[in-house]
């Protein structure tokens, strides 16, 4: 056993003292990467990461605003469907059946439609020589009016939900009794 240990130690020291082999002594055929075309039938086509936007959507949607957050899951966008009012959607929310908000960027949003990504950019303005006079002559909707309309819609939806909850509580008998001599109506701030 000690002879074996001595022999292994000698081999080990010989390897340590030997000069390192350079990479140029290896054959190029051994170092060449396999061709991706040959591996495609085995693993499928290679997916190349691209910063380019996916193709534009043909859905009748209009992007009005994008709120980009450092955490992408907390980003949201204001999108208007044709014939309805603009609404705010969070990432992951469903706009239509099979259409979901996938990502929000500064200049566009990405929609996932039946498993495929599509982009919805902000509407482009038509440029012309008289663009200033065109803007002045065209009555544009005031963004503050749009925002107040959205807030009013949200308040109306909240009131509807509160009324439905009151009806459910009343039907279940869990609604607190109102004193008969009290003439004050409860308000939303109560």
My answer on whether 85 and 117 are in the same domain is yes
Range of the domain at 155: 143-171
Residue 184 has pLDDT above 70, yes or no: no
Provide φ and ψ at 172, rounded to 5°.
-85, -10
Q: Is residue 99 part of a domain?
A: yes
Token couple for 141:
């909707």
CA torsion, points 173, 178, 184, 188, in degrees to nearest 10? Answer: -30
Mean pLDDT of 113-142: 68
**Reported confidence tier of residue 24, pLDDT bands at 50, 70, 90:** low
**Reported confidence tier of residue 138, pLDDT bands at 50, 70, 90:** very low
What is the total residue count of the chain? 190
My answer on whether 66 and 117 are in the same domain is yes
Please tell me the distance from the alpha carbon of residue 117 to that of residue 56, in angstroms, as a whole number: 9
Of 97, 56, 95, 58, the closest CA to residue 79 belongs to: 95
Percentage of residues of the chain with pLDDT beyond 70 = 66
My answer on whether 65 and 116 are in the same domain is yes
My answer on whether 69 and 101 are in the same domain is yes
* pLDDT score of 190: 52
Measured CA to CA in angstroms, residue 169 lies from 156, 165, 173 at distances of 20, 6, 6
Total Cβ atoms within 10 A of residue 188: 8
pLDDT in tens, 80-124: 988 889 999 999 999 988 999 999 999 999 999 998 999 999 988
Domain count within the chain: 2
My answer on whether 117 and 155 are in the same domain is no
Mean pLDDT of 11-40: 66
| Residue 189 DSSP SS3 | coil
Residue 80: which CATH number? 2.30.30.830
| DSSP state letters, 73-139 | GG-EEEEEETTS--EEEETT-EEETTEEEEEE-SSEEEEEETTEEEEEEPPPPPP-TTHHHHHHHS-
């Amino acid at each position: 056993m000690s002879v074996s240990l001595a022999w292994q130690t000698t081999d080990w020291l010989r390897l340590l003292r030997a000069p390192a082999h350079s990479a140029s002594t290896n054959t190029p055929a051994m170092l060449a990467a396999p061709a991706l075309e040959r591996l495609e039938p085995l693993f499928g086509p290679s997916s190349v990461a691209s910063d380019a936007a996916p193709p534009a959507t043909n859905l009748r949607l209009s992007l009005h605003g994008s709120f980009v957050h450092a955490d992408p899951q907390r980003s949201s966008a204001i999108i208007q469907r044709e014939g309805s009012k603009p609404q705010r959607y969070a990432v992951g929310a469903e706009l239509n059946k099979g259409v979901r908000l996938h990502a929000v960027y500064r200049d566009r949003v990405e929609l996932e439609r039946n498993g495929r990504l599509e982009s919805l950019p902000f509407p482009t303005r038509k440029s012309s020589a008289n663009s200033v006079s065109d803007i002045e002559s065209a009555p544009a909707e005031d963004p503050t009016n749009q925002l107040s309309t959205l807030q009013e819609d949200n308040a109306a939806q909240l009131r509807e939900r509160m009324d439905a909850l009151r009806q459910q509580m009343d039907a279940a008998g869990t609604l607190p009794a109102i004193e008969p001599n009290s003439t004050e109506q409860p308000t939303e701030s109560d």
